[in-house]
A and B are shown apart, each in its own frame.
Chain A
Amino acid sequence: MKNRALRRVALVAAVASTSALVLAGCSGGGGSASGGDGPVTLTVATFNDFGYTDALLKEYMDAHPNVKIVHNKAATSNDARANYFQKLGKTGLADIEAIEVDWLPEVMEYADLLAPVPDDLKSRWLDYKVKAATSSEGNLIGYGTDIGPEGVCYRSDLFAAAGLPTDREEVAKMLQGDWSTYFAAGDKYVAATGKPFFDSAGGTYQGAINQVEDAYENPDTGEITATENPEVKKIYDQVLKASATQSAHLGQWSDDWMAGLSNGAFATMLCPGWMLGVIEGNAPEVKGWDIANAFPGGGGNWGGSYLTVPSNGKNVAAAQELADWLTSPDTQIKAFENAGTFPSQTDALKNETLLSNTNAYFNNAPVGQILTDRAEAVKVSPYKGTFYFQINDAMQKALTRVEDGTQDAATSWQQWVTEVDALK
């Protein structure tokens, strides 16, 4: 028994010493050779799906034999965000790091830690894409990749049951106009079927608030103006009034909302290009989804990404070359073909492959053309300062409280005002 115990201790000691050997022997992750024309390993970190397949990256590697590209994907964009800010300015970021447009307000505070995009490239992208990522010193710190121009996705079968037009041209005509036009169509639908017209107040509000130039903050002083801005109150009231009868009250990305995509809980939705895959995936057996070339208020954009090059990386010049190539119009079109990521480059918007692209699930809609039209219809690049997302999240919660029935519109607004005031 004594021997058994001793043997057990010896085993543990053996494990411990083996581990020491393992730790010592584990050579660290590759450091790439220093710049110049010697062999270079570039790491590219993305999330979701940018369309950068191995075949695509191989094209670059074939053209640049001294470059090896290692492509890392993060699990979700939230994880990627935590990782990004944890390591920005320190070691550990890839040579090229993808960021999402929602992170920009925070990224812009650290614009000095990112290598600026050469000035001559700036005309490559849409105006609002460039403006959002330009620092106060005038440096563009991100190579734009994709954008999320929105149309209106609708269920033609549910429209038919309500006596509304089903052909996408006619639907576009019906929805042409501003938000009151959209809600008027909604009233017609609800009167005919008694079922909700759109998925949530939150999603609808988002489409509307993104059309307001300086919704929450003063771009020159950074002061918070959200609670005094009459536009914000107007949109809040309008959306909630319509939501009372037209909203399915399903918070976006919730389990219930994903079920709603297939069970007909709502008839329309504000739809960026990347949402098409989500709808198809969640409602594969539904035949009625279609997309109309219209958007209340003209144009809307939801989402989009950039590639950034941390300025303390080991291969900044080589990384910038690669980022340049990855975000060139031709490469972006190829990425679009791989993953449906809609290009943000003005030249790409004229590309035949893009314009002739159709989507079989959405009743063979010419999504390339539709989304291009919608992208060009976006006139406003809303200013998003440091507090934008805190204020907007608080607003989303305020809307949800009313949708849940927890509070009425006036009380919820008051609570939002109190929360925003605490930020000042």
Chain B
Amino acid sequence: MTAVTPAPVPVIDRDLPARGRRRTRAVRGSRPGWFVYAALGAVLLASVFPFYWSLLIGSGDASTVRDPNMSWIPGGNFLANAAAVMGDPAVNFWPALMNSVISSGIIAASVVFFSTLAGWAFAKLTFRGGPWLLLFVVGTMAVPMQLGVVPLYILFSELGWTGQLGAIIVPALTSAFGVFWMTQYLRQAVPDELIEAARVDGATSFRTFLTVGVPAARPAAAMLGLFTFVSAWNNFFWPFIVLDRQNPTLPVALSLLQSNYFVDYSKVLAGVLLSTIPLLVLFVFAGKQLVSGIMQGAVKG
């Protein structure tokens, strides 16, 4: 079998006169100047600042949040507060963490897979009713879902699924948002020529999808997976309604820390920060997928 995808792009390289090629190498190797780093630094400051503020409160005690002269250096209590949260019998931290990891992971994987598949079809395959179906998908995003918990609960209590993780996983297995995103992304990221070439070589539709679509989709798929994981992780209301208190997800479990007339925000925010750590770990993995030149890489390999 021949290599599937010829690269149109490297041809440009070879066409340049020698002098231009040297300049190209110089261009590729250039680093951006101080302005970019300064601007990014400002963005970093604005993004991280409230997070740091949470750390300040979470590392203090119950009165820190009200203290008008709160110090800008973290207090020493963070580990103590975190330990209190993890050990609190009412909070049920570790089972909740496990539930969150399992449900968010399954949801993210499923959404990425089905969205890429459907997005590929909408973006690159022509079939009757395609544009209208895509419009329908986008239209479903426009319906406000604040009332949706009620019929969903009716449905799942009829099925007898209340209290089980399946009740929060199944409704979230696909998302219109994901389908729409992958459609638009694949539209721009995959040149039609590559698909033609694959088809000429006798590849089936699915093989084309696997060899052209999946590698091309990697940056967007990684981001979609990350976003879906985070939103499933932080989701509160539906898991609160449908799961048992004994079998909660992490946000529901941590919300118990707020169930008093007087709330100790140092513990609440310590719990919040704890629940953010797995997400930050995921950041690193997903971020590495934001690689440019995916198509060139796929070709040379």
Name A residues whose Cβ lies closer than 8 Å to a Cβ of B.
1-2, 4-6, 8-9, 12, 15-16, 19, 22-23, 26, 28-30, 45, 47-49, 54, 70, 72-76, 79, 82-83, 86-87, 90-92, 258-259, 262-263, 274-275, 277-278, 280-285
Contacts and interface: CB of A to CB of B under 8 A. Distances in A.
Contacts of B235: none
A263 to B, nearest CB: 8
Contacts, number: 127
A1 B211 contact: yes
B106 A277 contact: no
Nearest to A6: B210
A214 B95 CA distance: 50
Nearest to A274: B261
B66 A259 contact: yes
* Residues of A contacting B: mostly: helix
Contact of B150 (A9, A23, A86): A86
A274 B261 CA distance: 8
Contacts of A4: 215
Given A1-B301, A5-B210, A262-B66, A91 B258 contact: no
Nearest to B149: A86
Given A12-B109, A72-B246, 5 more contacts: A29-B163, A70-B246, A90-B154, A262-B66, A281-B262
Interface stretch (B39-47, B72-80, B237-245): B237-245
A275 B109 CA distance: 48
A1 B198 CA distance: 14
B164 A28 contact: yes
B60 interface: no
B62 interface: yes
A54 B256 CA distance: 16
Given A8-B214, A86-B153, A281-B262, A75 B162 contact: no
10 nearest A-B residue pairs (beta carbon): A29-B163, A75-B255, A281-B262, A72-B245, A23-B166, A29-B244, A1-B301, A19-B106, A5-B210, A5-B214
A91 B102 CA distance: 26
Interface of B: 4, 62-63, 66, 68, 89-90, 102, 105-106, 109-110, 112-113, 149-150, 153-154, 157, 160-166, 169-170, 207, 210-211, 214-215, 237, 240-241, 244-247, 252, 255-256, 258-262, 264, 298, 301
B253 to A, nearest CB: 10
Contact of A16 (B68, B109, B301): B109
A19 B169 contact: yes
Contacts of B255: 75-76, 79
A5 B294 CA distance: 13
Contacts of A9: 113, 210, 214
A2 B162 contact: no
Given A6-B210, A26-B164, A277 B261 contact: yes
